[in-house]
């Protein structure tokens, strides 16, 4: 009969090696250590005595790894107060990340703070010599994460902002539709960003019969698939375990995708 | 050996479960879809996450950690409140009418238990589990009610008075004599007993951070580490009471479930096991039980209940 032995799930302690000021409202925390993961997988970030929250990894080269955070609440405020040398706990990685296609022509899309994991995905897709088109979108130029770095790495870059302060005024999905209309060959679309962007992306991809993966965000507590906090209505997919990266088809099987999610207590709130 | 017909059904308090494996409270029990997924994965029935009238945020993270022998959690009874729970159960019963649903309730005072008990008959739940044994909310109750003599009796009487639904009382292992509490709740009118809730609470300290990992310091212990204790407690309680039992604690395989049934449980709860065996654990356990029954020429679960006492 089946056996029950697993390695303990507990945070490992790291010292903050370096803190990098990114676009307005973002900081990157650099740690020394080997973090083996797929782009899009996540870790749990523990500030002892405060709380633990899920974050994506924005860079990982085998010797160092980075976590890029946007200041949105008490926890990220505490992260922003961290200094080089401070100890934090990191647990994971968890979940399923992006599976880069064997085919060549990849469109990578990032919106807002979703550009953090997309940065690692770009690193990984580049290492596989893929023909990458990047479409990035943010509210405005000041908060545009990693734009210079990505522009340097990728030749085919499109940028959009809500106010037109950088790149085109408009949305990433509009660029995607234009590229498809123009007849650009796209084998796969990989996206992380606001849910409305992911929803539109998934719809466009399915309509045009293009393989697509999107990275969903839901409130998570256990990260190991047991508490039920992040379960998607309809499909029963556990975002922490079966996701966070899902195929467009899978994501679209849930009526809550693009529409609503659940809060701390499990009450329905707007996505 | 010729294939014989095996009956895995369990009639528990007049409610028919297609098989003896039920989802325990606290795991994957927040929404209708989540519980439906557990049923699709093989569970005979499900227990909701414990709910009170108004809902509750629960504790910060880390709320769950594992160690080499089990798991600790300090969720702190997070829930969206009674109304939400009622709707989720309604939705679930629409989709899976053949699988019993047990609504788990809690309160921090007798008044709170009375308030929620009065509303139970509005739900489509088949059974009620009265959680008087959560060890993770020490700020509200100095001790869970299940650990205070006299309190279990009062809670049971109050809930029984206010609902027509059969009630299962969930007991704590963190007492000197669980048999005495079991007899007390039986005497007060409980229809069944489920045991055990999590053990402890226990603590794991991160030696680099030099502090406990769980946000509130300690948490209830579950998983394989507590199974022998749970089996012994079901064994002892079975000898002392006549009402049926739900055996819970560290069950991850068919063998473990059979052990619990032989100790005296009619239904077997599975919770932390989802972490160890994946969500298919419910189907796996049932398969293993059926295989064992086939091999040992046992026709029904009922034949095995309490077998270790004979």
Half-sphere exposure of B67 (CA within 13 A, CB side): 17
**What DSSP assignment string belongs to A118-177?**
HHHHHHHHHHTT-EEEEEEEESSGGG-TTHHHHHHH-SEEEEEESSSSSSEES-HHHHHH
Contact A129, A136 (CB under 8 A): no
pLDDT value of position A5: 61
Q: Chain A residues with CB inside 8 Å of B79's CB?
A: 265-266
**What DSSP assignment string belongs to A23-34?**
STTEEEEEEES-
pLDDT value of position A114: 97
Contact B20, B301 (CB under 8 A): yes
CATH architecture of A12-94: Beta Barrel (2.40)
Q: Which of residues 177-236 of B touch A (CB under 8 A)?
A: 204, 206, 208-209, 211, 213, 215, 223-224
Check B275 against A8: CB less than 8 A apart.
no
Which residue out of B61, B74, B134, B147 is catalytically annotated?
B134
- Across the A:B interface, residue pairs with CB atoms under 8 Å apart total 141
Q: Chain B residues with CB inside 8 Å of A238's CB?
A: 279
Give pLDDT tens digits along chain A (271 positions).
Answer: 445 567 888 899 999 999 999 999 999 999 999 999 999 999 999 999 999 999 999 999 999 999 999 999 999 999 999 999 999 999 999 999 999 999 999 999 999 999 999 999 999 999 999 999 999 999 999 999 999 999 999 999 999 999 999 999 999 999 999 999 999 999 999 999 999 999 999 999 999 999 999 999 999 999 999 999 999 999 999 999 999 999 999 999 999 999 999 998 999 998 8
Q: Which sequence spans correspond to the domains of chain A?
A: 12-94, 105-270
The partner residue sitting opposite B275, judged by closest CB among A89, A226, A236, is A226
To the nearest whole number, what is the mean pLDDT of chain A? 95
B77: closest CA of chain A, how far (Å): 9
- Cα–Cα dist A64/A247, whole Å: 29
CA A185 vs CA A32, A199, A212, B38, B287: distances in Å: 39, 21, 14, 41, 48
Q: Is B276 exposed, middle or buried (0-12, 13-18, 19+ CB in 10 A)?
A: buried
The partner residue sitting opposite A1, judged by closest CB among B78, B255, B274, is B255
Structure tokens at A199: 């929803």
Check A44 against B84: CB less than 8 A apart.
no
Q: Chain A residues with CB inside 8 Å of B224's CB?
A: 4
Q: What 3-state DSSP class applies to A261?
A: strand
Torsion sign across C-alpha atoms B247, B248, B249, B252: positive
Check A4 against B62: CB less than 8 A apart.
no
Nearest CA in chain B to A54: B61
Structure tokens at B34: 């989540």
Q: Which of residues 97-136 of B touch A (CB under 8 A)?
A: none
User: What CATH number is given for A105-270 in this structure?
Assistant: 3.40.50.80
Check A89 against B40: CB less than 8 A apart.
no
DSSP B302: G
Contact B92, B35 (CB under 8 A): yes
Check B252 against A2: CB less than 8 A apart.
yes
The partner residue sitting opposite A225, judged by closest CB among B60, B274, B284, is B274
The total number of residues shown for chain B amounts to 310
Contact B248, B230 (CB under 8 A): yes
**What's the N-to-C CA distance of chain B in angstroms?**
26
Q: Which of residues 147-166 of B touch A (CB under 8 A)?
A: none
Q: What 3-state DSSP class applies to A113?
A: helix
The partner residue sitting opposite A4, judged by closest CB among B81, B224, B279, is B224
DSSP A61: -
A262: closest CA of chain B, how far (Å): 10
User: Strands, DSSP E only, in chain A?
Assistant: 12-15, 18-21, 26-32, 42-47, 51-56, 59-60, 64-70, 87-94, 105-111, 131-138, 156-161, 168-169, 188-192, 211-215, 245-247, 260-262, 268-270
Dmax (CA) for chain A in angstroms is 62
Compute mean pLDDT per 10 residues along chain B, 310 residues long, and list them: 79 98 96 97 97 92 94 93 96 97 94 95 98 74 79 95 98 95 97 97 95 95 97 98 98 98 98 96 98 95 96
Check A50 against B224: CB less than 8 A apart.
no
Q: Chain B residues with CB inside 8 Å of A1's CB?
A: 253-255, 288
Q: Chain B residues with CB inside 8 Å of A232's CB?
A: 33
Catalytic residue flag (residue B134): yes
Q: Which of B147, B125, B239, B162 is nearest to B196 (CA)?
A: B147
Structure tokens at B50: 């414990």
For chain B, what percentages of helix, strand and coil (3-state, to nearest 5) are there?
A: 35, 20, 45
Q: What 3-state DSSP class applies to B284?
A: helix
Check B29 against A265: CB less than 8 A apart.
no
Structure tokens at B268: 């077997």
Check A231 against B30: CB less than 8 A apart.
yes
B195: closest CA of chain A, how far (Å): 20
Q: Chain A residues with CB inside 8 Å of B253's CB?
A: 1-4
**Interface membership of B13 toward A (CB under 8 Å):** no
Domains of chain B, CATH where assigned = 10-309 (3.20.20.70)
Check A227 against B27: CB less than 8 A apart.
yes
Interface pTM, i.e. ipTM: 0.91
* For residue B196, cis peptide bond before it (omega within 30 degrees of 0): yes
pLDDT value of position B141: 59
Q: What is the pLDDT of residues A69-97, one digit of tens each?
A: 999 999 999 999 999 999 999 999 999 99
Residue B258 φ/ψ, nearest 5 degrees: -60, -40
Q: Which residues of B45-82 are buried (b: 16+ CB within 10 A; e: fewer)?
A: bbbbbbbbbebbebbbbbbbbbbeebbbbbbbbbbbbb
Q: Chain B residues with CB inside 8 Å of A11's CB?
A: 62, 206, 209, 213
């Amino acid at each position: 009969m089946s056996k029950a032995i697993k390695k303990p799930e507990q945070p490992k302690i790291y010292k903050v090696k370096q803190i990098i000021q990114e676009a307005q409202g973002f900081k990157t925390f650099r740690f020394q250590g080997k973090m083996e993961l797929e782009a899009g997988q996540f870790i749990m970030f523990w500030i002892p005595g405060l709380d633990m929250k899920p974050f994506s990894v924005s860079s990982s080269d085998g010797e160092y790894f980075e976590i890029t955070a946007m200041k949105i609440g008490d926890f990220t405020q505490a992260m922003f107060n961290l200094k080089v040398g401070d100890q934090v706990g990191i647990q994971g990685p968890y979940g399923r990340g992006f599976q880069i296609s064997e085919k060549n022509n990849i469109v990578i899309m990032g919106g807002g703070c979703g550009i953090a994991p997309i940065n690692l995905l770009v690193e990984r897709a580049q290492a596989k010599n893929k023909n990458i088109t990047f479409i990035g979108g943010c509210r405005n130029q000041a908060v545009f994460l990693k734009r210079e770095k990505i522009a340097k790495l990728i030749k085919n870059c499109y940028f959009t902002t809500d106010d037109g302060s950088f790149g085109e005024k408009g949305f990433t999905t509009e660029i995607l539709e234009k590229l498809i209309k123009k007849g650009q060959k796209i084998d796969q679309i990989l996206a992380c960003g606001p849910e409305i962007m992911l929803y539109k992306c998934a719809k466009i991809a399915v309509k045009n019969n293009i393989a697509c993966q999107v990275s969903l965000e839901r409130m998570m507590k256990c990260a190991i698939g047991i508490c039920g906090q992040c379960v998607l209505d309809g499909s029963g997919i556990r975002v922490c375990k079966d996701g966070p990266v899902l195929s467009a088809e899978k994501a679209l099987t849930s009526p809550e995708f693009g529409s609503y999610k659940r809060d701390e207590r499990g009450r329905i709130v707007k996505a | 050996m010729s294939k014989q017909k095996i009956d895995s059904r369990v009639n528990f308090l007049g409610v028919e479960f297609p098989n003896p494996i039920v989802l325990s409270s606290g795991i994957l029990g927040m929404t209708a879809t989540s519980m439906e997924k557990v049923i699709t994965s093989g569970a005979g029935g499900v227990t909701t996450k414990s709910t009170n009238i108004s809902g509750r945020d629960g504790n910060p993270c880390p709320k769950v950690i594992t160690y080499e022998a089990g798991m600790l959690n300090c969720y702190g009874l997070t829930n969206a409140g009674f109304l939400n729970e009622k709707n989720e159960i309604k939705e679930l019963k629409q989709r899976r009418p053949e699988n019993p649903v047990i609504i788990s309730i809690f309160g921090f005072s007798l008044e709170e238990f009375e308030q929620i008990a009065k509303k139970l008959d509005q739900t489509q739940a088949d059974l009620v589990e009265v959680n008087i044994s959560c060890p993770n909310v020490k700020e509200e109750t100095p001790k869970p009610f299940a650990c205070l003599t006299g309190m279990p009796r009062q809670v049971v009487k109050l809930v029984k008075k206010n609902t027509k639904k059969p009630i299962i009382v969930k007991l704590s292992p963190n007492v000197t004599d669980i048999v005495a509490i079991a007899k007390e709740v039986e005497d007060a009118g409980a229809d069944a007993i489920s045991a055990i809730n999590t053990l402890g609470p226990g603590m794991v300290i991160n030696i680099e951070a030099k502090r406990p990992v769980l946000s509130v310091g300690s948490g209830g212990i579950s998983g394989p580490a507590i199974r022998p204790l749970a089996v012994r407690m079901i064994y002892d309680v079975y000898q002392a009471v006549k009402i049926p039992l739900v055996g819970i604690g560290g069950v991850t395989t068919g063998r473990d479930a059979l052990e619990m049934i032989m100790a005296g449980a009619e239904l077997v709860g599975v919770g932390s096991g989802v972490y160890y065996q994946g969500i298919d654990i419910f189907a796996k356990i049932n398969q293993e039980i059926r295989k064992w029954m086939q091999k040992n020429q046992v026709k029904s679960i009922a034949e095995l209940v309490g077998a270790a006492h004979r």
